[in-house]
Amino acid sequence: MTRLVPHGEPPAYFRFSGLAALGLPHVTTTRHFPGVSAPSEPTAPFTDEGRRALRGANLDGARLSYVKQVHGAEALPAPTGGGYAGVADVLTTTERGVPLAIFTADCLAITLWDSIARVLTVAHVGWRGTAKGATGAAVKAAVQAGARADQLHVAIAPSIGPCCYEVDEPVMRDFGRAHGRRAQAWFTPAREGHAMLDLWRANEALLADAGVDRAKIENPRLCTACHPDLLYSYRKGNRGRLVTVAALP
Q: How far apart are CA 198 and CA 169, in angstroms?
A: 15
Q: How far apart are CA 15 and CA 145, in angstroms?
A: 25
In a domain, 194, yes or no: no
CATH code: domain of residue 106 = 3.60.140.10
Closest CA to 123 of 66, 167, 62, 79: 66
What domain range includes position 57?
Answer: 4-160+213-246
pTM: 0.96
Q: How far apart are CA 111 and CA 208, in angstroms?
A: 15
Domain tally, the chain: 1
In a domain, 192, yes or no: no
H or E segment at 48? helix 48-55
In a domain, 201, yes or no: no
End-to-end CA, the chain = 23
In a domain, 168, yes or no: no
In a domain, 30, yes or no: yes
pLDDT in tens, the chain (249 residues): 568 999 999 999 999 999 999 999 999 999 999 999 766 656 778 999 999 999 999 999 999 999 999 999 999 999 999 999 999 999 999 999 999 999 999 999 999 999 999 999 999 999 999 999 999 999 999 999 999 999 999 999 999 999 999 999 999 999 999 999 999 999 999 999 999 999 999 999 999 999 999 999 999 999 999 999 999 999 998 889 999 999 999
Beta strands in 100-227 (DSSP E): 100-104, 108-114, 119-125, 152-156, 166-168, 187-189, 194-197, 217-218
In a domain, 203, yes or no: no
In a domain, 184, yes or no: no
In a domain, 172, yes or no: no
Three-state DSSP at 82 gives coil
Residue 59 CA, chain-centre distance (Å), reads 17
List residues bridging with 96 in a β-sheet.
Answer: 248
